[in-house]
Amino acid sequence: MKKGIYISEIWLKNADKLDFSAYPFCLPVIKYLKRLQFEKRVTFFVGENGSGKSTLLEAIAVKYGFNPEGGTKNFNFHTTETHSDLHKTLGFSKGVYQSKDGYFLRAESFYNLATEIERLDEQAAFSPRLIDSYGGVSLHNQSHGESFMSLILNRFGGNGIYILDEPEAALSPQKQLALLARIKALADKDSQFIIATHSPILLSYPDAEIYVFSDEGVFKTPYKETEHYIITKEFLNNPEKMLKYLMN
């Protein structure tokens, strides 16, 4: 088993006994899941809104031991119970090596995570503070994008598994490029990334695995054959033509 691969395969357990007309098993990503193998240190999940890629990503994170709303395995807070029970039916193969670090980043609940960090630091009577491992500046006192980068640049240390749900949500194109460079640096330190994204910038990561989830099934695809790349390229090559078509 390749070093730096901490989750090597996932599958649905007892699939013949599941009700695929009920949520979350009715989602395309779950209906066609069968088995997914992770052979590269960077894997992307892509698909239309509602395809279930974030639901699957959440289930992987919870199955691995992360808090459903994000953070490390040490976080144990919740605001609203919204995660599915998919993790209970998920089979898992782990790599030979054990991760020394890890994080689950959810763009939609990052505010709650930042609030929990402040609450824990207010209660703690010791130093260093938890926020010091995030760069020392309150995540609430930074822009959304700045707080994301503070997390990724300071808290992610390598030899870990990092599960990211739409990290581009708060990042400018320039910051997305910075994230690409950080992913490469951490992957070189035996880290594994599993990322759900819509960003054609992030998807350009060299030699990444890209899984597309659609109504027809789950399949790997090269970067330049993703809908994200094709549509973005067509638009940038001739925005006037596409806007005319859309607005007439």
Q: What is the pLDDT of residues 129-162, one digit of tens each?
A: 888 888 889 888 988 889 989 999 999 999 999 9
What six digits make up the tokens of 238?
């001739």
* pTM: predicted TM-score of the whole model, two decimal places: 0.92
Domain boundaries, the chain: 7-223
pLDDT score of 237 more than 80 = yes
32 compared with 197, residue with greater pLDDT? 197
Q: Rounded to an integer, what distance in angstroms lies between the CA atom of residue 58 and that of residue 73?
A: 14
Strands (E), 26-156: 35-37, 42-47, 90-94, 101-106
Q: What is the pLDDT of residues 176-204, one digit of tens each?
A: 999 999 999 999 999 999 999 999 999 99
pLDDT score of 230 more than 80 = yes
Q: Rounded to an integer, what distance in angstroms lies between the CA atom of residue 160 and that of residue 163?
A: 10
Q: Which pairs from 74-82 meet CB under 8 Å and 24+ separation?
A: 75/113, 75/116, 77/112, 77/116, 79/109, 79/112
* CATH class of the structural domain 7-223: alpha beta
